[in-house]
Amino acid sequence: MSRQLHLNLNFLNAGTYGSAWRWPGGAPGDFADPAFYIRTARLAERATFDAVFLADNPALSDRPEYRPFQSLEPTILLAAIAAATERIGLIATISSTYNEPYNLARRIATLDHTSHGRAGWNVVTTADRQTAANFGQRGVQPHQDRYARAGEFTQVVKALWDSWEDDALIGDADTARFVDIGRVHRIDHEGTYFSVRGPLNVPRPPQGRPILVQAGGSEDGRELAAEHADAVFSVAHALADAEEYATDLARRARRFGRRRDDILIFPGLVTVLGSTEAEARRREEALWDLVPIEYGLGRLAGTLQIDPARLRLDEPLPADIPLPPDHNHTFFRGALTLAERGRLTVRQLIRAQGGGTGHRILIGTPEQVAESIEAWFRSGAVDGFNIMPDVIPSGFEDFAEHVVPALRRRGIFRSDYAGTMLRDHFGLSRPLSPHSRIGAEAVPA
């Protein structure tokens, strides 16, 4: 079978544009209404998407006076979605900075059991002051510390998922043997950030290990991805960026004994569709006109970590913006690069970012979008995309109805799911627990 494209829905409440909630077709309360997420996830499943992906931040930080924001806790929302769907993957963003690995391993394992093998965890380190203030921190912890903790956190979570071998449950009522405790292992982790004895109190998840996703583009983020991730959500505004990223990730992965094929790469892709290119451009213009400029300015200032008063709408960015030490570097660098490449004014930059997103925006007909997706996919630099509709539901309905069939006609996207688990959709094999491997090796050939 030829290599197949992967598509995830990056489900940002009413859609990616800051004005999406003002567009016809939705209701203001949708962002906190589980029924809205369930309806949309069902649509994504009918379009045979690999997964729905929920970004998250445990703070009220996206200027709620202007627009909806990520609100409901992702694992619980995904459990509700799991109950209303059968195949689509369910990826929850959870911060390694503000959680404990035992609790997190257990929640994701439970979601994997509840969904029969469709769970994934997107590891983020959460670099904003509002969140820090909700968790007793005076400020954001330094970048390197957050990633060191994230690496150790991920290692502990994997060990906990591996703590049960697949055949540990005996369940023999006659002999009263319930669990073979020789096949359930303590992890006895003693590290810099954590001391965790284990074992987990949840049997091995259906996927063995639920899918691990990583989304940071910094040095430390790439290292974490190279060592642990099954998939990365990247940022790439041009194919050259995506190629550089893929080459770099492959090089790093080799150092951990892994290959490029072991890690799927999905850049974010904002879509604005129209039945003609002119119609798509008019839609983008209308969406942009509805974004309050104060919102766009505030978002950009937040991304750059500078005082909004320093930004003049019809002038270029100030020349001397320093790299903020405790911040999201990917979107910081992305904004600077975009401004520089296009010689954009602040207003143009905000617009080029759809009023707030730091991801690439594609404006065009379904065929144009499908063509670009195919070109990037065939380059080998990406394995698919994290689709970010301009507006949900309308922009995603158009994607499902028109872009997905175009991709199928091109022979690069499935018409039906081949398996039942997210691992199957991603084409990744199910890992054995290292304890089981040791056991298997001990058996004489």
Q: Which of residues 170-209 bind a second copy (CB under 8 A)?
A: 170-173, 176-181, 184, 194-203
Picking from 91, 304, 118, the residue whose alpha carbon sits closest to that of residue 215 is: 91
Residue 203 C-beta: closest distance to a second copy, Å: 5
Handedness of CA 382, 383, 386, 391 (dihedral sign): positive
Cβ-based nearer residue to a second copy, 111 or 272 = 111
Q: Which of residues 70-89 bind a second copy (CB under 8 A)?
A: 70-73, 75-77, 79-80, 82-84
Q: Does 60 bind a second copy (CB under 8 A)?
A: yes
Q: Does 389 bind a second copy (CB under 8 A)?
A: no
Question: What's the farthest any 2 CA atoms get from each other in the chain?
Answer: 80
Cβ-based nearer residue to a second copy, 93 or 218 = 93
Number of Cα atoms under 13 Å in the Cβ half of residue 46: 13
Find how far residue 165's CA is from the centre of its chain.
28
Residue 342 C-beta: closest distance to a second copy, Å: 27
Interacting residues of 324 by C-beta distance below 8 A, sequence separation 6+? 304, 305, 332
Residue 370 C-beta: closest distance to a second copy, Å: 31
Number of Cα atoms under 13 Å in the Cβ half of residue 336: 17
Select from 39, 42, 69, 368 the one that contacts a second copy (CB under 8 A). 69
Site residue total, a second copy (CB under 8 A)? 73
Cβ atoms of 50 and 384 within 8 Å: the answer is yes
Integer angstrom CA distances of residue 18 from 14, 284, 288: 9, 12, 8
Cβ atoms of 76 and 38 within 8 Å: the answer is no
Spell out the alpha helix ranges (H) of 61-123: 74-84, 101-114
Cβ-based nearer residue to a second copy, 130 or 144 = 130
Cβ-based nearer residue to a second copy, 173 or 319 = 173
Residue 201 C-beta: closest distance to a second copy, Å: 4
Binding part of the chain for a second copy, among 167-175, 240-248, 367-375, 396-404 by CB under 8 A, reads 167-175
Select from 39, 42, 61, 248 the one that contacts a second copy (CB under 8 A). 61
Residue 194 C-beta: closest distance to a second copy, Å: 6
Q: Does 133 bind a second copy (CB under 8 A)?
A: yes
Q: Which of residues 15-54 bind a second copy (CB under 8 A)?
A: 19, 21-22, 27-29, 32-34
Q: Does 1 bind a second copy (CB under 8 A)?
A: no
Cβ atoms of 376 and 382 within 8 Å: the answer is yes
